[in-house]
Amino acid sequence: MPSVTGTSSPPRRRLGPEERRAQLVQLGLDLIKARPFDQVLVDEVIEAAGISKGLLFHYFPTKRAFQVAVIEAAAAELLEAVRPDPALDVLEQLRHGLDAYVAYIEQQPASYTAIVRGAGSDTALLQVFEDTRDAIVDLVLAGITAEPSPLLRLAVRGWIAGVEESTILWLRDRECSRDAVIVLFYREALALLPLIEEMEGDD
């Protein structure tokens, strides 16, 4: 089953199943930093891994299954990057989290945009997208209150979607400084809290 690898490929090593699976996902993660995730070819992955197409499909029965595994790994990477440092105060956590979020999109704008705009074309991809967005909303809410109201959750989720959209647009046009966009997001978040408190006090 193993193919003859090209001279430019790394020498083929014998890996255990877990190790092999992790290697393939890592290769996918590296490739989507260079190109929209839906344009990453199976042939590139197997060439870089020095394995046959049959072996790739042994681990991932379809190209879509491989894509979903890579996007799940990317989502885990993003959540790890934005995880707040408990040594910082809440406002510093927010600032650091925003910086890390923007930095993550900056690393791979083409893939990030393709995922955000195209997630709905597949149920499994959409689920990863929704779960990741929920997890980020939870991280933000955890810094604010133990019992977020439905309106606060809605507002934070909208704010995150806005941060994402503005970052994608900023990376496309680069008409503002990086600092300005991060300060914008930070101040938007700070403005949101008293606004919700005032609304809920209105009842």
Cβ 74 to a copy of itself, closest distance in Å? 16
Closer to a copy of itself at the Cβ: 8 or 123? 123
Binding region for a copy of itself (CB under 8 A): 113-114, 116-121, 126, 129, 150-151, 154-155, 157-166, 169-170, 173, 175-176, 180-181, 183-184, 187-188, 191-192, 195-196, 199
Q: Give the Cα separation of 76 and 82 in Å (integer).
A: 10
Kindly give the residue spans of alpha helices, DSSP state H, lying in 38-89.
Answer: 42-49, 53-59, 63-82
Residue 142 CB-half CA count within 13 A:
12
Closer to a copy of itself at the Cβ: 141 or 184? 184
Cβ 187 to a copy of itself, closest distance in Å? 5
Closer to a copy of itself at the Cβ: 43 or 200? 200
Closer to a copy of itself at the Cβ: 56 or 181? 181
Residue 103 near residue 186, CB atoms below 8 Å: no
Cβ 185 to a copy of itself, closest distance in Å? 8
Q: Give the Cα separation of 43 and 53 in Å (integer).
A: 7
| Length in residues, the chain | 203
Token pair 């060439």 is found at: 47
CA nearest neighbour of 156 among 174, 177, 132, 133:
133
Cβ 191 to a copy of itself, closest distance in Å? 4
